[in-house]
Amino acid sequence: MTRILQFGATGQLAREMLARQEAPIEVVALSRAEVDLTDPAAVARAVEDSGAIDLVLNAAAYTAVDKAESEPDAAYAVNARAPEAMAKACQARGLPLIHISTDMVFDGEKARAYVEDDPTNPLHVYGASKLAGEQAVLGHCDRALVARVSWLFSAYGQNFLQWFLKASQAGTPMRLVDDQKARPTASGDLAAFILSQADRLARAPAGAPEWGLLHVVNDGVASRYDMARTIFAMAFPGREPPPMEPVPTSAFPTPAKRALNAVLDTGRLQRVFGVQLRPWEEAMEDTIEQLAAAEA
């Protein structure tokens, strides 16, 4: 049995981990009600007092990208100081740590996909807080894997898929950003990858190639406009979609500036783990079917 101590119980990844766990993997999830992520001492105690644990997963984060501009301390507390406390406690116990990060540590100025060691330059507080979390984790735990992800979607929580399915029902014209590009990623596929590698990571020693930065995203690149057209065709086959107009990011000014290129390269994922996640469209179709089954 490999036991994973998971920070986070209600987010997209956290719920997928709990839904997909099966022997010989057990996920022990800690909610924010059980551990105050703004209290580093409480975070450290959770690791110290966790008993027979083989691996720690940080699936919790402050994710309000625009709100973070006016709440920097809250963003840094959860996204940087809490992971630092986890990393120090894991190092003290000799435990490996998987920490989830984001494409938003990059500024989007690169013409091609970003590899793990490309220079970072976050454009906003959220991205800067996540970068600080990456640095803290890698700096304080010698068996740490920082998995960068992008544009997560699932049948749980709030995400673009859920928003669009509701918004498109009205049939009113929609304007959708078409100049931001990324690799949409299914939270379920991310969870499946973590669960499939849990035993390997629990046994990997310090200095092994598994540790460090890793981009874990589905195959294929899309904009929000691309996603919307695909989602509607899958969810409502044969129906006429509402008018959808592709527009630039500048059409929707936001407190936090968005990078136009958020595409993450997955070469290291393939080289080290022998894994390439499936095309995002396949994962999207499965997620839409999951939602439909839940409503039936």
* Whole-number Å distance between alpha carbons of 39 and 91: 19
The structure tokens listed for 203 are 């046994």
* Whole-number Å distance between alpha carbons of 86 and 78: 11
* Whole-number Å distance between alpha carbons of 231 and 43: 39
Is residue 50 within 8 A of residue 5, CB to CB? The reply is yes
Centre a 10 Å sphere on the Cβ of residue 70 and count the other Cβ atoms it contains.
11
Is residue 17 within 8 A of residue 195, CB to CB? The reply is yes
The candidate with the shortest Cα–Cα distance to 202, out of 55, 49, 47, 61, is 55
The structure tokens listed for 75 are 């963003």
Strand, helix or coil for residue 282: helix
Strand, helix or coil for residue 42: helix
Residue with the two structure tokens 């310090």:
206
Active site residues per annotation: 126
- Beta strands 25-30 and 97-102, pairing class: unpaired
